[in-house]
Amino acid sequence: MSGKFVVGYDGSVSARRALEFAVDRARTQGGTIVLTHVLEWSPYSFLTPQELEERHARRKEEMTRAEKAIMTTVKAELDDAGIPNEVVIRYGNTAEILGRVAKEHNAVQIVIGRDGQSALGARVFGSVAGALVQTAPVPCTIVP
């Protein structure tokens, strides 16, 4: 069985563990890694057109920085290891975007790392893992 594995990746230790888990599955099953980085973005309707334009310019800069600082090295590692891969960088709600990327790429699974946030913090601020397992269009694996 081959397929695409969407991996939420932000450069953290937990994201690295998630990537290693997904790479193992991709190797075993002849799959592809869709390495996905999400920059949180929440639109504000009360911004002026000039402020929105400035914000969009900063957004493009942040995406370029994320690609250079986080994704380029990991993509090269995957390429060197012979693991087929794609890189996706988007703005938005992390759980929502990972689900959307999974649909767009006909993924068989989404893999993310657990960040170790406390139970109280997760209840107050929400949890990507919690939101993802409730809304994802494909099975999810949360790697501890």
* pLDDT (0 to 100) of residue 65: 80
Q: What is the mean pLDDT of residues 52-60?
A: 74
Which of the residue ranges 41-45, 93-97, 128-132 would you say has the lowest mean pLDDT?
41-45
Which of the residue ranges 65-79, 86-100, 113-127 would you say has the lowest mean pLDDT?
113-127
The CA-CA-CA angle for residues 2, 7, 10, to 5°, reads: 160
**DSSP string for the chain:** ---EEEEE--SSHHHHHHHHHHHHHHHHHT-EEEEEEEE-----TTS-HHHHHHHHHHHHHHHHHHIIIIIHHHHHHHHHTT--EEEEEEES-HHHHHHHHHHHTT-SEEEEE-----HHHHHHH--HHHHHHHH-SS-EEEE-
Which of the residue ranges 5-9, 59-63, 82-86 would you say has the lowest mean pLDDT?
59-63
* pLDDT (0 to 100) of residue 125: 42
* pLDDT (0 to 100) of residue 103: 97
pLDDT band with cut points at 50, 70 and 90 for residue 130 = confident
Cα–Cα distance, 101 to 89 (Å, whole number): 10
The reported pTM is 0.83
Q: Is residue 120 over pLDDT 60?
A: no
